[in-house]
Amino acid sequence: MSDDLASRLREKGLRLTPQRELILRAVEELRHATPDEVLVHVRAQASSVNASTVYRTLEVLEELGLVRHTHLSDRAPTYHSTLEHEHVHVVCRRCHSVRSYDPDLVAPLVAALGEDGFSVDVGHLAVFGTCADCAASSSRSPGIRETGRRGQPT
Amino acid sequence: MSDDLASRLREKGLRLTPQRELILRAVEELRHATPDEVLVHVRAQASSVNASTVYRTLEVLEELGLVRHTHLSDRAPTYHSTLEHEHVHVVCRRCHSVRSYDPDLVAPLVAALGEDGFSVDVGHLAVFGTCADCAASSSRSPGIRETGRRGQPT
DNA sequence: TTCAGTGCAAAGCGTTTGCAGGGTG
DNA sequence: CACCCTGCAAACGCTTTGCACTGAA
């Protein structure tokens, strides 16, 4: 896995640096993290790593196919390791819970679009809506605006 | 439709202003527009309207159920009128084309999640991937990065 | 006449970029 | 010892916010 990093970097004439190892490890450990969360996590272990390095590295790691991202909120994107099985994200706009589903969930969608020659990026998919709990108690999650300006998923 | 605006505003003790009419009309006419595009369009017709008014108004219009938004790119969100039939957006990351599909497309997905008590917001859904044309000619769309930093859909 | 709505300007957040110095291969 | 990578700081794009004024009801 980290060896994977080394070899994949080499293949493209890129270099293995402590920062890149740390950032990849952070994404793997956090499982779902924004660039900023990655930064915080990395800084907790090693001393100084710069925000721009995190952005640049996440881009590289994504090109290498070691991490992926989705948009689970209106703010920062969320990165996760490709070591995890590919999954579809289902997000409740009310309580902001995120559940992961097997790609089977969207097999019919993938098939239907496939007939048009369109190939769906399943891992990137985020489905928004309202979860069971929140539908039940409409008084839940105090202070979260329905239409939501800046902040959580919209 | 604009009468709709007047009445819906009144119901909530809000006021009907020229800006609100203009902005709603702009969204309807542009069919799919970012806040900035709305601003430009409105300014073309009427004189000065402020950007912050556009943001505040789009929020109000969405609360009133007159417009909706999706995220078709990493940059600004896209607004459309609810007068249009609800539709699912399918976006090619390569050439950035956007196609609208009938909600039927995701009926199985909606049904599956429905069993868990989750209610999908179909109109908000954006499916990313690669369209037939782009899959065919992998040399297409010069200068567009695959992983794409800032810019189009990611 | 009241209070919602607007314009303006400044701030905020997440992200990108130019550059010079540092470290990997 | 090339050249990739990093840190730093400034800039950027989009959005939000505070405030005083304006105008809809």
Percent of chain A with pLDDT over 70: 88
**Residues B43-46: contacts with CB under 8 Å, at least 24 apart:** B46/B18, B46/B22
Q: Do A89 and A119 belong to one domain?
A: yes
Report in angstroms the alpha-carbon separations of B152 from A19, A96, A153: 28, 25, 19
Regarding whether A74 and A89 lie in a shared domain, the answer is: no
Over residues B29-77, the pLDDT tens digits come to 999 999 999 999 999 987 789 999 999 999 999 999 999 999 998 889 9
β-bridge pairing B88-92 and B98-101: antiparallel
Specify if A136 maps to a domain.
Answer: yes
How many domains, chain A?
A: 2
Q: Which domain holds residue A59?
A: 1-82
Residues B75 and B91 in one domain: no
Looking at A60, A82, A104, the residue that finishes a domain is A82
Q: Test A93 with B149 for CB contact under 8 angstroms.
A: no
pLDDT tens string A18-74? 999 999 999 999 999 999 999 999 999 877 899 999 999 999 999 999 999 999 998
Cα A113 → chain centroid: 24
Please report the pLDDT score of residue A145 as a whole number: 36
Other Cβ atoms within 10 Å of A52 Cβ, number: 9
Q: What is the pLDDT of residues B81-133, one digit of tens each?
A: 999 999 999 999 999 999 999 999 999 999 999 999 999 999 999 999 999 99
Q: Which residue of A has its CA nearest to B68?
A: A147
Last residue within a domain, chosen from B57, B82, B107: B82
A100 and A119 part of one domain: yes
And the tokens for B112? 């599956």
CB B127 within 8 A of CB A113: yes
Q: What local confidence, expressed as pLDDT, does residue A154 receive?
A: 60
Same domain for B96 and B30:
no
Question: Is B142's pLDDT higher than 70?
Answer: no
Tell me the chain A residues in contact with residue B146 when contact means C-beta distances shorter than 8 Å. Answer: 63
Q: Count Cβ atoms below 10 Å from residue B115 Cβ, excluding itself.
A: 8
Reported as type and span, the H/E element at residue A67 is: strand A67-70
**A56 and A97 share one domain:** no
Q: What's the CATH code of the domain at B57?
A: 1.10.10.10
Among candidates A143, A117, A142, A146, which has minimal Cα distance to A130? Answer: A146
**B59 and chain A in contact, CB less than 8 A:** yes
B93 at A interface, C-beta within 8 A: yes
Test A77 with B154 for CB contact under 8 angstroms.
Answer: yes
Kindly write down the DSSP assignment for every residue of A75-116, as one continuous string: SS-EEEETTSPP-EEEEETTT--EEEE-GGGGHHHHHHHHHT
Q: Which of A35, A61, A82 is the last residue of a domain?
A: A82
**Domain presence at residue A44:** yes
Q: Same domain for B25 and B60?
A: yes
Give yes or no: residues A27 and A9 share one domain: yes
Regarding whether A120 and A99 lie in a shared domain, the answer is yes
CATH code, domain with B89: 3.30.1490.190
pLDDT confidence of A108, banded at 50, 70, 90? Answer: very high
Look up residue B90 and give its two tokens.
Answer: 């399918």
What is the distance between the terminal CA atoms of chain A, rounded to a whole angstrom?
A: 35
